[in-house]
C-alpha cells in the first residue's frame, strides 16, 4: 500500500512539473510562460509568465519576439479613471531578488499583435525574450483554455486612434 501511494505521488509530481515548465538564463528563472486561447482567427493575444531575478545584479527585459505574430510588444495595463488602458513599455525592470509576475487582468504582459491564426488551447509556440544582461532566451508558451469571464485579456482593444 505504501509503495502504491509513493508511485501515485511521483506520477502527480511528474505531471505538475511538466505543466509548470521553467527556463533559466544566468540568474533569471522564467516560470510557466502561458497564453490564453483566443477566438479562431483572432488577431491579438497576450502571453504571461513569472520572471525571478535570483542574482545580485539588476537586469531588464528589453525585447520580445515570436514567429507566431507580426508584432510582439511589452505592454502594461493601468486604470485611467474607470477605464483599464494599456500602453507599450520599453522594458520591464528586474531588480536583484525581485519576482515579476505577468498575469491576466492587470500589469505587464507580452502582447501579440497580428496573430497568424488564433491561439488554440493545447498548442505551444516559441517566444524569444531578450534581457539586457542575460541575453536572449527562447521559451515555449503553452496555450491554455480561456479563463473565467473577467480574467480574459481580450476586452481591451488596440484601436489605431489611441496610439500616440
User: Of the two residues 25 and 112, which places its CB atom closer to Cu ion in the complex?
Assistant: 112
Write out the binding residues for Cu ion, residues 2-61 only, by CB under 5 A.
Answer: none
The number of helices, as runs of H, and strands, as runs of E, in the chain is: 1, 11
User: Can you tell me the distance from the alpha carbon of 163 to that of 73, in angstroms, rounded to the nearest whole number?
Assistant: 13
Q: How far out from the chain centre does Cα 66 lie?
A: 12
Min dist CB 155 to Cu ion, Å, is 11
111 contacts Cu ion (rule: CB under 5 A): yes
User: Can you tell me the distance from the alpha carbon of 57 to that of 59, in angstroms, rounded to the nearest whole number?
Assistant: 7
User: Can you tell me the distance from the alpha carbon of 26 to that of 119, in angstroms, rounded to the nearest whole number?
Assistant: 30
Rg (CA), the chain: 17
User: Of the two residues 19 and 106, which places its CB atom closer to Cu ion in the complex?
Assistant: 106
Min dist CB 64 to Cu ion, Å, is 12
Q: Judged by CB under 5 A, which stretch of 64-72, 83-91, 131-139, 141-149 contacts Cu ion?
A: 83-91
State the cell numbers at 49.
Answer: 509568465
User: Of the two residues 89 and 120, which places its CB atom closer to Cu ion in the complex?
Assistant: 89
Single residue of 53, 75, 104, 131 touching Cu ion by CB under 5 A: 75
Min dist CB 13 to Cu ion, Å, is 34
User: Of the two residues 59 and 108, which places its CB atom closer to Cu ion in the complex?
Assistant: 108
Q: How far out from the chain centre does Cα 20 lie?
A: 13
Q: What are phi and psi of 54, to 5 degrees?
A: -90, 0
Min dist CB 52 to Cu ion, Å, is 22
Site residues, Cu ion (CB under 5 A): 75, 86, 111
Amino acid at each position: 500500500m505504501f509503495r502504491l501511494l509513493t508511485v501515485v505521488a511521483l506520477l502527480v509530481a511528474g505531471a505538475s512539473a511538466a505543466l509548470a515548465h521553467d527556463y533559466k538564463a544566468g540568474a533569471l528563472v522564467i516560470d510557466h510562460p502561458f497564453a490564453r486561447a483566443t477566438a479562431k482567427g483572432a488577431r491579438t493575444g497576450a502571453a504571461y509568465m513569472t520572471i525571478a531575478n535570483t542574482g545580485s545584479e539588476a537586469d531588464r527585459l528589453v525585447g520580445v519576439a515570436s514567429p507566431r505574430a507580426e508584432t510582439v510588444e511589452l505592454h502594461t495595463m493601468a486604470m485611467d479613471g474607470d477605464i483599464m488602458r494599456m500602453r507599450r513599455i520599453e522594458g520591464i525592470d528586474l531588480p536583484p531578488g525581485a519576482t515579476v509576475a505577468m498575469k491576466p487582468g492587470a500589469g505587464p504582459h507580452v502582447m501579440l499583435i497580428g496573430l497568424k491564426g488564433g491561439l488554440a488551447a493545447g498548442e505551444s509556440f516559441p517566444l524569444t525574450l531578450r534581457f539586457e544582461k542575460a541575453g536572449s532566451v527562447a521559451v515555449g508558451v503553452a496555450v491554455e483554455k480561456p479563463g473565467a469571464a473577467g480574467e480574459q485579456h481580450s476586452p481591451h482593444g488596440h484601436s489605431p486612434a489611441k496610439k500616440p
